[in-house]
Amino acid sequence: MSMMSEFKEFALKGNVMDLAVGVIIGGAFGKIVDSAVGDLIMPIVGMLVGSLDFSSMFVVLGKVPAGTAMTLAELKKAGVPVFAYGNFITIAVNFVILAFIIFMMVKQMNRLKREAPAPAPAPVATPEDILLLRQIRDSLKK
């Protein structure tokens, strides 16, 4: 079998196509969750905690050049090392939400996949020779 035909057989298998679709949908779903966390959830959490913007939570680890604004984007642009724990908090919340959503989806899929219990097998008719042997046995017992 040539290399191209082996690759074609591999690429056209159902599992590979399912995986490709899953990766594409997962990437798009990740962007939706990023937006939901960054634009909807974190502002509410920040408001509840006390008007905090988690993206602005960082510790400067180096010297800041004169004239550089003390924002995370400007510090990174200037090459100043920063410990951006606010971004980590946002990504951790993002992960927890994504994991919960996936858990709920899998739970729902498993609930839908549950099959009804298999019905009891129908009684099998006893073969005629067995019936004859039983009759002979019963007549010998008399």
CB 44 within 8 A of CB 33: no
Please give the share of the chain, as a percent, with pLDDT higher than 70. 94
Among 14, 12, 51, 28, smallest CA distance to 98 is for 28
Fold for 3-114, please state it: 1.10.1200
Residue 25 or residue 43, greater confidence: 25
For residue 130, give the 3-state DSSP assignment: helix
Phi (first) and psi of residue 83, to 5 degrees: -100, 95
Helix pair 14-35, 85-113: axis angle to 10 deg: 130
Residue 39, pLDDT score = 83
Kindly report the pTM of this predicted structure.
0.52
Lowest mean pLDDT among 66-80, 108-122, 125-139: 108-122
Residue 136, pLDDT score = 92
Where along the chain do its domains lie? 3-114
Mean pLDDT calculated for residue range 53-66:
82
Mean pLDDT calculated for residue range 56-82:
86
